[in-house]
């Protein structure tokens, strides 16, 4: 996904030919693309109808269809944070303090869960195999973030990562569903505008144990944004850059080191942000 002239458009990228293809071209913000696990559709958020709604399109950018009735919104949420079900039949997304579940064609909308008092839902992910959902909640301040895990029917919601100094964002499951990856600003600055000085990659087991930083190479002032698991489960795709500047999509193949740390080998792919694989 690439930004041009303050407008966001969605692109696909062929890693073999290194050619990218433009999928959207509309005088509005089209962003946060997520490919269906069935690999037949791409869902994304657009404000082309004056509110942030979820649309789907074919893998070639055709047959654009609005499927949400309620907007993607919440505390400090400008229209990001939804996830496909493992079979590609449903989508979950945040609408203020409600987590909404809808059929991929826009039918059967229902409230799946309600956020804790004083908080709204934001980023979420649905595990492929563990029958779990992970979700970020936010308070009135953009840096007030917590991560919860719940059963896929919305029950049994448990705190996984508590609020701490510095912004926490973008939880996503590992391929087997036993680990959650997310970003956290290691600088620990609670910036009112959400500015992240040093957001890094972390992982934590779904039972709350074994929290670790994933060591990757990033320059001073750079932050990691929107990590997402690679289809084969061998690593992550994410964007890297400074908060108000251009960003580059990277692949990082994870490895366990003899000293117990986890590291990733960065591979720059293409300019852009909010990647999916």
CA–CA distance from 170 to each of 92, 146, 218, 246, 264 (Å)? 15, 11, 18, 19, 18
Q: What CATH number has the domain bearing residue 145?
A: 2.120.10.30
Structural domain contains residue 236: no
Q: In angstroms, rounded to a whole number, what is the distance separating the alpha carbons of residues 53 and 44?
A: 8
| Residue 43: band (very low, low, confident or very high) from pLDDT cuts 50, 70, 90 | very high
Residue 4: its pLDDT value, please? Answer: 59
Domain range for 11 is 2-227
Average pLDDT value for the chain: 92
Residue 248 lies in a domain: no
Residue 73: predicted pLDDT: 96
pLDDT at 176 over 70: yes
Percent of the chain with pLDDT over 90: 74
Q: Is 261 domain-assigned?
A: no
Question: Is residue 203 domain-resident?
Answer: yes
Output the pLDDT for position 134: 99
> Is pLDDT of 14 > 90?
no
pLDDT at 266: 77
Domain total of the chain: 1
Matching residue, tokens 């087991």: 205
Three-state secondary structure of 202-225:
EEEECCCCCCEEEECCCCCCCEEE
Nearest to 165 by CA among 147, 183, 180, 185: 185
Residue 244, domain member (yes or no): no
Give CA–CA dist 178/78, Å, rounded: 29
Say if 239 falls within a structural domain. no
14 occurs within a structural domain: yes
DSSP-derived secondary structure letter, 114: E
pLDDT tens, position by position, 230-269: 877 788 999 999 888 889 999 999 888 888 888 887 788 8
Q: Is the pLDDT of residue 161 over 90?
A: yes
**What is the structure's pLDDT at 152?**
97
Express each pLDDT in 44-93 by its tens digit. Answer: 999 999 999 999 999 999 999 999 999 999 999 989 999 999 999 999 99
pLDDT bin (cut points 50, 70, 90) of residue 2 is: low
**pLDDT recorded at residue 246:** 85
The residue among 227, 115, 254, 211 whose CA lies nearest residue 173 is 227
pLDDT for 238 equals 93
8 belongs to a structural domain: yes
120-137 pLDDT tens trace: 999 999 999 889 999 999
Find the mean pLDDT for residues 183-196: 87
């Amino acid at each position: 996904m690439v930004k041009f002239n303050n407008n966001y458009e969605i692109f696909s990228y062929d890693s073999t030919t290194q050619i990218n293809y433009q999928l959207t071209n509309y005088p509005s913000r089209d962003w946060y693309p997520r490919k269906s696990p069935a690999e037949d559709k791409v869902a994304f958020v657009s404000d082309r109808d004056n509110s942030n709604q979820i649309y789907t399109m074919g893998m070639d950018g055709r047959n654009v269809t609005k499927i949400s009735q309620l907007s993607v919104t919440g505390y400090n949420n400008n229209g990001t944070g939804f996830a496909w079900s493992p079979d590609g039949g449903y989508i979950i997304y945040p609408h203020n303090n409600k987590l909404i579940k809808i059929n991929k064609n826009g039918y059967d909308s229902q409230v799946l869960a309600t956020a804790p008092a004083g908080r709204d839902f934001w980023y979420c992910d649905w595990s492929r195999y563990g029958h779990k959902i992970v979700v970020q909640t936010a308070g009135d301040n953009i840096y007030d973030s917590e991560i919860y895990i719940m059963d896929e029917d919305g029950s049994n919601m448990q705190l996984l990562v508590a609020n701490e100094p510095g912004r926490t964002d973008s939880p996503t499951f590992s391929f087997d569903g036993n680990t959650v990856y997310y970003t956290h600003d290691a600088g620990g600055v609670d910036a009112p505008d959400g500015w992240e000085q040093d957001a890094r990659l972390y992982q934590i087991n779904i039972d709350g144990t074994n929290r670790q930083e994933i060591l990757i190479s990033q320059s001073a002032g750079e932050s990691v944004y929107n990590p997402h698991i690679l289809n084969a489960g061998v690593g992550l795709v994410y964007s890297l850059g400074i908060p108000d500047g251009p960003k580059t999509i990277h692949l990082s193949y994870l490895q366990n080191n003899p000293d117990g740390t986890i590291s990733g080998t960065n591979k720059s792919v293409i300019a852009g942000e909010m990647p999916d694989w």
